[in-house]
Amino acid sequence: MRLSSSVPVVLQGLVLLSSFSRGDDEAFVRETTLGRIQGKVSKTLEDKEYLSFLGIPYAEAPVGHLRFKRPQPAKPWNGIFDGREEGPVCLQIPSFSEAGVVGDENCLSLSIFTPNLMADQAAKPVIVWIHGGRFLVGSASTNMYGPDYLIDQDVVVVNIQYRLGVFGFLSTEDEVAPGNYGLHDQTMALQWIRDNIRQFGGDPNQVTVMGHSAGGASSHSHLISPRSKGLFKNIIALSGTSNMGWASRFTFHDKVAVRQAKLFDCPTEPSQALVDCLRKVDAKELAASISDLHVFFKRTLAKIPLTPYTSRFDPESDSPFFPVDPREALRTGQYDRSVPLLVGTTSQEGSWYMSTWYSKIFAQRLKEIDILNQEELVNFVAGEDLLRPGDWSKIVKHYFRNGKIADPSNRIAGSNFFSDITFNYETLHAAHLHTRSSDSPVYLYRFDYIGGWGYVSLFNETAQSFGGVAHLDDIRYLMRLPWAAPLSTAEDKDMSKRFAGFMANFAKYGNPSSKTETWEPYVKGSGQYYKIASPDSSGMVRDIPFPKDRMNFIKIIYDAQEDITIDFKVNDAKEEL
């Protein structure tokens, strides 16, 4: 426990307003249900001052007998917790460097960034950020996701951390280890926020949960789980929903647990013996073993963009996170229908992955793809045992017109396929199902803006050469990404203000519209989405966001019940409102 040796000036539990002018290194203290916390002054890129309270523990360290169990609430502390430095990230092997394991098993913390500690000001809306990273990597660190652009929109921001990989999602598919510990972590963080955020200038009755990729799927999962009901007012799911194949469709968790046990010579049955043995394994060695579980291109950027550890339907649990399968919950309206939802994708999500196959600098790697088990690859991306006999040849014929995957000319075709089967179809499917039962608005968007930098820039490529905006490119305009290129052009900075403004408006009003740009909800019988692009080309679009023939093809592959194109007016040329 980090305890501070310095004590700032405090009056009746409220920070003296004059302290704001004393410099960035000065600290402030707030009272919480667990004890006092000391923060510091920070500044946005617009030079706006705000307070940061970093690395606050919301749960006990999930170590020893607490490994592979639901989190336990953090215990109160004496003295003042030093919230001026960030805590450790959760154990992982960083995607880009893969230099080794970083982080600590004692990582269940959150950080609060607030522009408001004035006693006479109304509490502000709160945005809780859940990071993405395939349920395998990522953190709440400001070195990954800075709150600047949202703080400039006058909201309180909370970044939360949750267990990843084997620590967060190991399951024997029975009551011994039902899984979903990482999602339970998130719920406990939301409970802490409900009980304490008012002390940091936030309104506990105006909490919006927002996440990207695996964080988007997590956000959407809280809308379905009864364990999280009542902890938020709105949900924003960016490039990820709980019904996606990679998010919750897998049914091989027990097989992964057996593979994991064999790596450490642990018994594979009964389940209790397997789990007891893995609890004794050194945490960093356990984290490092993920490299032996990857299916595709070990130790390179081109590995499968997922992890064998994901959330799951867990009815065996004595307190299940998903008492009903997420897809069935959406079909039958078994979720919190009172909560507004904002959901969407970029224009070409799959180029994030395909750039590590088709970029010129990976020419040799591309040649290796055809000797890999491609059907196994697709099954892993979309869900176990997805493909039936003959499906793979149909996929190749439908997307790769010359039948050759390992052909540089197929970079856009490959991106289309991965976009559709990994993100596009299930995003539209989720929106479609919500409009059949939700009592609250559903807003759908597609992010089309191509700025001065994108993920494919890491490989000396352009977004145009892969057919559009990649997975993660949009987040550069919502959160400050210190590892990416800064917003250097006036157009990029304007997009950041607009995109962050949309999200902040949704958090404030349940509607993302701004003074100059009006969004309309997607409703049953009237499908439409907001195209986010440059100001002169943005607007509501009635046409389906992605080609109907591709969506209908994925419907056949998924053997889905619903026709997700039925609400949209489909034209060769898109009709903008």
Active site (annotated) includes residue 213: yes
Residues 6+ apart with CB under 8 A from 503: 127, 150, 153, 210, 236, 342, 478, 512
Neighbours of 190 (CB within 10 A): 25
Quote the CA–CA distance of 478 and 512 in Å, as a whole number: 14
How many CB atoms are closer than 10 A to CB 66? 16
User: What does the DSSP assignment read for 55-90?
Assistant: EEE-B----GGGTTS---BPPP-SSEEE-SS--PPB
Integer Cα distance of 172 and 155 in angstroms: 41
Q: Point out the catalytic residue in the list 220, 398, 432, 471.
A: 471
Distance, C-alpha 302 to centroid of its chain: 20
CA 552 to chain CA mean position, Å: 26
Catalytic residue among 111, 139, 213, 359: 213
Q: What are phi and psi of 234, to 5 degrees?
A: -140, 160
Identify whether 471 is a catalytic site residue: yes
DSSP letters of 132-170?
A: -STTTS--S-TTT-B-HHHHTTT-EEEEE----HHHHH-
Catalytic residue of the set 86, 105, 349, 461: 349
Residue 349 annotated among the catalytic residues of the structure = yes
Dihedral-angle region of residue 174 (phi above 0 means left; psi in -120 to 50 means alpha; beta otherwise): beta
**CA 156 → CA 128, 153, 364, 429, distances in Å?**
8, 9, 47, 31
Active site amino acids = 213, 349, 471
